[in-house]
């Protein structure tokens, strides 16, 4: 059972990725690792579908993830995700259920800025703790990217070509199909842009040097069945590169400035093979194995200054059983992670470790309108022993009202880099312990005829946060954080051809020791979206987003460091997309981002992309 770039490539201002309509009881897999209606999950899970992607003319994953995704400059820049105010390394990234977080990255986070949407059928986002299902990293939530495959015919090719501002171009081509016992999908995607200057124009160090980016990817997914037996395969190869500017310019190496010679490159190769067998109508077993290989490098004037390679080999066996109102699934997993890093300022590092896990998820319909879900997981690491996580929740779903409550424990294991890195300024710390969190959430939804509204309140407390201690020249477990939040939405049809959606989020994320706000988390964010179909073949999507002020590491107008906890102002961003079907298989589309050409920084010292236009043609046969 499986889990699911023109110049406008940075429109990351939507508050929460637009989910399937609340009136639809969307089936998702990320919440329990089994297909489950959203209405039965004690959590907020959003599904961005292929239709949403095309109607909004979205091109990148960063666009889809919204304001919680903070991208350093424009297309191709590093993007960090702060789900529910948690740290950027507290979001778990998956491709069809395969873990993507990079073990060679300093804190183990995934760079969401390198992925396009051309190969994806849907993007599911689980908000809240999920370590009891997926293990490390899932403190703030999980993003699961599900590739395109299958369909209504054996052979259904598709293609897309778009051009845009800043000498940008994007192309997608692929084919998908299905027969009685076989389904598949293969997609190639390419993107390139000359970009814009990442250094803000307010700084005297800004000289207009453009920071370009490029990306190419091949994704393939297939499944075959014969009787009770099934085979499953997944492959992705992605190469990307992006230019960036320095924070160590000037005579004292502390200046934010343009640098035309800096570039980073990344290659990711992922594969998985699996087999499963149905043991009657109510149960099945699965076995899968695969590898994720990531290579990253930075160069200055063509000379390599740092390299990093991470390899993750994994084997997992899972099972599923259903009996009446009870659904059970669980599994045993093993993986080996290894990294090799080298740079001008750190000692070469080559280290590996193994870990294993066992987990179980249970869901029971305790009454016609009541569903209870619980999960339990034990992770065993070579270096620091075992971590036990658990979560549970209850849903009462009686139309038109849905109420739910949940509680969960999650953790983030220290990375190999955090434990073993050595330089003149960093000493290894083999005694690092996992970061650990506890979270609760209470939510409610009301669904009427053609409209819906809902809200959630939540709290997350995190302890043992890993921070660099200058006095000890080490990473230490010294931090604590507390996050209180509110999420609310309202949507409804105002006419047969028009639907509105309003989303609001309040995030109060603070250092629990000092009371200071955590960086890059706005206290308030809004998004208003209108989905319009004034003509049978014409679709319009208009959005306006407001992102409030937040704290960050700031730099003054001379490019000099200003504050480690400065304040940057909020901003407002508008976007409009139009799609017109001039034949059954052909669509033309256009999108304008940053309608009012707002000047803003997200994050601080990185210029947000100016107004950008992209337009293209899409065909699906």
**Percent of the chain beyond pLDDT 70?**
96
Mean per-residue pLDDT, 173-185: 96
Burial (CB count <10 Å: 0-12, 13-18, 19+), residue 453: middle
Mean per-residue pLDDT, 269-279: 97
Mean per-residue pLDDT, 258-265: 93
Q: How far apart are CA 143 and CA 124, in angstroms?
A: 6
Q: What is the CA radius of gyration of the chain?
A: 23
Which of 79-93, 269-283, 340-354, 429-443 is predicted least confidently? 340-354
Per-residue confidence band for 15, with pLDDT thresholds at 50, 70 and 90: very low
Beta bridge partners of 550: 568
Backbone angles phi, psi at 68, to 5 degrees: -75, -15
- Asked if residues 168 and 75 have their Cβ atoms less than 8 Å apart, the reply is yes
Burial (CB count <10 Å: 0-12, 13-18, 19+), residue 216: middle
Mean per-residue pLDDT, 374-393: 95
Q: Compute the Cα dihedral for 530, 534, 536, 540 and give only its sign.
A: negative
| 430's tokens | 């083999």
Beta bridge partners of 513: none
Backbone angles phi, psi at 343, to 5 degrees: -155, 175
pLDDT in tens, 100-155: 998 888 888 999 999 999 999 999 999 999 999 999 999 999 999 999 999 999 99
pLDDT in tens, 53-73: 999 999 999 999 987 899 988
Q: What is the predicted pLDDT for the residue at 235?
A: 99
pLDDT in tens, 158-177: 999 999 999 999 999 999 99
Pairing of strands 141-147, 91-95: parallel
pLDDT in tens, 558-616: 999 999 999 999 999 999 999 999 888 999 999 999 999 999 998 999 999 999 999 99
3-state secondary structure of 313: strand
Whole-angstrom CA distances from 536 to 20, 532, 540 are: 21, 10, 11
Per-residue confidence band for 471, with pLDDT thresholds at 50, 70 and 90: confident
- Asked if residues 93 and 110 have their Cβ atoms less than 8 Å apart, the reply is yes
In this predicted structure, the answer to whether residue 4 has a pLDDT above a threshold of 60 is no
CB atoms under 10 Å from CB of 261, counted, come to: 12
Report yes or no on whether pTM surpasses 0.95: no
In this predicted structure, the answer to whether residue 223 has a pLDDT above a threshold of 60 is yes
Q: What is the predicted pLDDT for the residue at 157?
A: 98
In this predicted structure, the answer to whether residue 18 has a pLDDT above a threshold of 80 is no
Q: What is the predicted pLDDT for the residue at 103?
A: 86
**Residues with Cβ < 8 Å from 555, sequence gap 6 or more?**
203, 256, 561, 562, 604, 605
Of residues 105 and 287, the one with the higher pLDDT is 287
pLDDT in tens, 480-496: 999 999 999 999 999 99
- Per the document, the length of the chain is 621
Name the residue among 51, 55, 44, 59 with its Cα closest to residue 12.
59
Burial (CB count <10 Å: 0-12, 13-18, 19+), residue 382: exposed
Cα maximum dimension of the chain: 72
**Residues with Cβ < 8 Å from 543, sequence gap 6 or more?**
13, 14, 527, 528, 529, 530, 574, 575, 576
Name the residue among 129, 119, 33 with its Cα closest to residue 85.
129
**Residues with Cβ < 8 Å from 187, sequence gap 6 or more?**
118, 119, 147, 148, 172, 173, 174, 218, 219, 220
Whole-angstrom CA distances from 234 to 178, 198, 290 are: 16, 36, 9
Per-residue confidence band for 249, with pLDDT thresholds at 50, 70 and 90: confident
Q: What is the predicted pLDDT for the residue at 24?
A: 53
CB atoms under 10 Å from CB of 513, counted, come to: 12
Q: How far apart are CA 295 and CA 327, in angstroms?
A: 40
Mean per-residue pLDDT, 305-321: 96
Whole-angstrom CA distances from 484 to 14, 361, 521, 527 are: 20, 27, 12, 20
* Domain 7-620 grouped into CATH 3.40.630.30: no
| Domain chopping of the chain, boundaries | 7-620
């Amino acid at each position: 059972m499986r889990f699911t770039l023109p110049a406008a490539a940075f429109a990351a201002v939507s508050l929460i990725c637009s989910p399937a309509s609340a009136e639809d009881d969307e089936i998702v897999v990320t919440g329990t690792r089994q297909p489950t209606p959203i209405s039965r999950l004690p959590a907020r899970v959003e599904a961005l579908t292929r239709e949403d992607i095309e109607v909004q003319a979205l091109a990148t994953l960063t666009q889809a993830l919204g304001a919680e995704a903070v991208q350093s400059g424009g297309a191709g820049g590093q993007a960090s995700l702060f789900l529910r105010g948690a740290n950027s390394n507290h979001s778990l990234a998956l491709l069809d259920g395969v873990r993507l977080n990079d073990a060679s990255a300093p804190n183990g986070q995934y760079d969401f800025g390198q992925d396009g949407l051309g190969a994806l059928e849907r993007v599911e986002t689980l908000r809240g703790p999920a370590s009891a299902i997926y293990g490390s990293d899932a403190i703030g939530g999980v993003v699961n990217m599900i590739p395109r495959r299958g369909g209504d015919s054996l052979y259904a090719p598709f293609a897309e070509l778009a051009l845009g501002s800043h000498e940008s171009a994007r192309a997608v081509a692929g084919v998908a199909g299905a027969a009685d016992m076989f389904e598949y999908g293969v997609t190639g995607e390419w993107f390139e842009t000359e970009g814009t200057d990442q250094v803000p124009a307010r700084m005297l160090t800004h000289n207009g040097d453009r920071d370009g980016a490029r990306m190419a990817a091949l994704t393939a997914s297939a499944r075959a069945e014969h009787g009770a037996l099934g085979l499953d395969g997944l492959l992705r190869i992605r190469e990307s590169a992006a230019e960036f500017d320095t924070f160590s310019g000037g005579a004292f190496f502390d200046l934010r400035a343009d640098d035309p010679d800096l570039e980073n490159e990344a290659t990711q190769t992922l594969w998985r093979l699996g087999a499963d067998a149905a043991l009657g109508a109510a149960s099945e077993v699965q076995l899968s194995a695969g590898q994720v290989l990531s290579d990253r490098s930075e160069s200055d004037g063509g000379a390599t200054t740092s390299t990093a390679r991470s390899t993750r080999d994994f084997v997992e066996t899972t099972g599923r059983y259903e009996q009446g109102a009870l659904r059970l699934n669980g599994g045993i997993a093993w993986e080996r992670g290894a990294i090799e890093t080298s740079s001008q300022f750190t000692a070469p590092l080559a280290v590996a470790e193994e870990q294993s896990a066992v987990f179980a998820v249970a869901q029971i319909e305790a009454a016609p309108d009541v569903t209870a879900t619980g999960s339990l997981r034990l992770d065993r690491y070579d270096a620091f022993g075992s971590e036990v996580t658990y979560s549970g929740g209850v849903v009462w779903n009686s139309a038109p009202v849905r109420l739910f409550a949940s509680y969960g424990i999650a953790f983030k294991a220290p990375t190999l880099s955090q434990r073993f890195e050595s330089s003149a300024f960093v000493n290894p710390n083999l005694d690092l312990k996992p970061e650990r969190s506890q979270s609760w959430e209470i939510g409610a939804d009301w669904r009427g005829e053609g409209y819906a509204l809902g809200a959630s309140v939540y709290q997350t407390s995190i302890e043992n946060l890993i921070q660099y201690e200058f006095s000890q020249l080490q990473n230490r477990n010294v931090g604590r954080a507390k996050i209180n939040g509110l999420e609310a939405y309202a949507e409804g049809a105002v006419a047969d051809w028009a639907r509105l959606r309003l989303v609001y989020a309040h995030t109060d994320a603070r250092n629990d020791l000092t009371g200071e706000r955590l960086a890059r988390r706005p206290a308030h964010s809004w998004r208003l979206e209108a989905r319009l179909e004034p003509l049978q073949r014409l679709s319009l999507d208009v959005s306006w987003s407001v992102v409030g002020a937040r704290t960050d590491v700031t730099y003054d107008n001379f490019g000099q460091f200003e504050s480690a906890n400065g304040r940057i102002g909020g901003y407002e961003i508008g976007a409009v997309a139009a799609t017109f079907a001039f034949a059954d298989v052909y669509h033309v589309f256009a999108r304008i981002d940053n309608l009012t050409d707002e000047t803003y920084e997200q994050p601080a010292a990185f210029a947000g992309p100016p107004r950008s236009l992209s337009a293209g043609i899409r065909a699906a046969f």
